Amino acid sequence: MDIIIVNHALKITGVTEAQQTDPQITIDCLNNGQRNAYNTITSSVFQNKGTIFFLNGGAGTGKTFMYNTIALKCRNLGYIIVTMASSGIASLLLVGGRTAHSTFSIPLDVLDNSNCGLSKQSLQAELFRETKLIIWDEVPMQHRHCVEAVDRTLRDICDSKKPFGGITVVLGGDFRQILSVIPKGVREKIVNASLRHSVLWKHIHILTLDLNMRLNREGHENANFANFLMEIGTNPQEIVNLPSTIHKCQDLNELLSTVYPQLNMIETSTPTFLTERTILFARNDDVSEIITIALNIFLGRLCTYLAADKMSEDNEIDPTITNRYSNEYLNSLDPPGLSIFKLELKVGCPIILLRNIAPKDGLCNGTRLMVTRCDTRIIEAQILTGEKFGNLAFIPRISLTPSSSEMPFQMTRRQFPV
């Protein structure tokens, strides 16, 4: 354990080759809004002000580029910087990034008085006492109790009454995107779980990025689309009128043939073809329906994998519940966040991981892959996203357990986490 901690400490203090590059190169690429935010944040770090910032910006405004630029500059000067994100996918985009839960050992079932699982005498605690800056991306999707638990833990570790122990903290994200997921929660519960309703919000200084860097605003259509995206979240309305440039499909078959044309042709499904297009749905039922249609169009042999379901033997809710439900009933369940009981795949079809298997190798919750081989006990797939694009990965069956809030009893499903 100590070796892992030491290696992590070395990684974030500026020993890697990426951190030895000249930070001025990336600083010169900042636009005016990014440069103002950069100067404000680094000023707090260099002068030990311990300011808490929230970097507010929509998708494409360059938040991740800002994080890495600030971290590169500070590490180049010898400061210890901790970079993390609420999700595994977002953490892969940060230099030296990890998930917030693994960095601070945040409890999975966090309460309003929870603390992180860090000992004050541990090497991790010593590392945080020397830390000058903490960057935490995608915070709006995190429950405010998680942020408050980190705050309490850092105050205790640093023996300080200041927010986050007096460490400069940059929280980032976009409240117009996905908020904290509250199982069966109504709108009031979801809003109450937001960081905006935390006692820490009054200490936070807001910085805003509003220039979309992904879309070339020199084009008239791109500029209009960027403004449309900004308007959707800024001035929400019951009915949204889509621009005339957006094609409207009549049914799922037309949608699939428009986004993924010629799936029934040999060699159509390639990594480039799959990464350039995607279909997003709000409901799992719609996802299952489009998957069934797509698999029928794909060429090749259909591979079927059946899961193994069982009741937890040490059920804390009711020890006598083990044999109360039949296997057929367990097989029919489709809890959120779990693989389906009957998983059907074909070579060339895209899949998404549902668990953090090996984040350092690019395999985490949300990673997109393309199936290259279907074996009895393992699935070979090619990574389609991130720095590990093109690498082959082997996905095994693992035991998956839904959260206690999703099920009235505890069960375990052994299946491929896709």
pLDDT tens per residue across span 371-402: 999 998 999 999 998 778 889 999 999 998 87
Rg of the Cα atoms in the chain:
23
Of 60 and 145, the one with more pLDDT: 145
- For the cut 90, the answer to whether the pLDDT of residue 236 exceeds it is no
Strands (E) in 141-221, as ranges, are 168-173, 204-209
Supply the pLDDT for residue 195.
92
* Residue 337 CB coordination number (10 Å): 15
Q: What is the DSSP string of 43-69?
A: HHHHTT---EEEEEE-TTS-HHHHHHH
Spatial neighbors of 357 by CB under 8 A, at least 6 apart, are: 363, 364, 395, 398, 417
User: Residue 35 is inside which H or E element, if any?
Assistant: helix 32-46
For the chain, percent of residues with pLDDT exceeding 90:
39
Residue 323 near residue 411 (C-beta atoms within 8 A)? no
How far apart are alpha carbons 167 and 74 in whole angstroms? 14
- Alpha carbon separation from 276 to 94, 136, 260, 270, 384 (Å, rounded): 23, 28, 10, 10, 10
Supply the pLDDT for residue 322.
55
How far apart are alpha carbons 180 and 193 in whole angstroms? 7
Q: How many helices (H) and strands (E) does the chain have?
A: 14, 15
How far apart are alpha carbons 87 and 103 in whole angstroms? 12
Full set of structural domains in the chain with CATH: 2-209 (3.40.50.300), 271-415 (no CATH)
Helix ranges, 240-299 (H)? 252-259, 271-275, 284-297
149 pairs with which residues across the strands? none
How far apart are alpha carbons 155 and 129 in whole angstroms? 10
- For the cut 70, the answer to whether the pLDDT of residue 89 exceeds it is yes
Q: Is 403 helix (H, G, I), strand (E, B) or coil?
A: coil
Residue 415 near residue 402 (C-beta atoms within 8 A)? no
- Alpha carbon separation from 382 to 270, 344, 363, 372 (Å, rounded): 10, 18, 11, 7
205 pairs with which residues across the strands? 53
Supply the pLDDT for residue 140.
92
Confidence band for 7, pLDDT divided at 50, 70 and 90: very low
Supply the pLDDT for residue 315.
52
- Which two structure tokens, joined as six digits, stand for 304? 């079927």
Supply the pLDDT for residue 217.
56
- Which two structure tokens, joined as six digits, stand for 88? 């595994």
Helix axes 252-259, 284-297, angle to 10 degrees: 60
Please state the pTM of the whole predicted model.
Answer: 0.81
Supply the pLDDT for residue 3.
29
Supply the pLDDT for residue 13.
37
How far apart are alpha carbons 94 and 136 in whole angstroms? 10
Confidence band for 320, pLDDT divided at 50, 70 and 90: low
Supply the pLDDT for residue 40.
95
User: Residue 136 is inside which H or E element, if any?
Assistant: strand 131-137
Q: Rounded mean pLDDT of 106-121?
A: 88
Of 218 and 231, the one with more pLDDT: 231
Q: What angle do CA 358, 5, 89 make, to 5 degrees?
A: 30
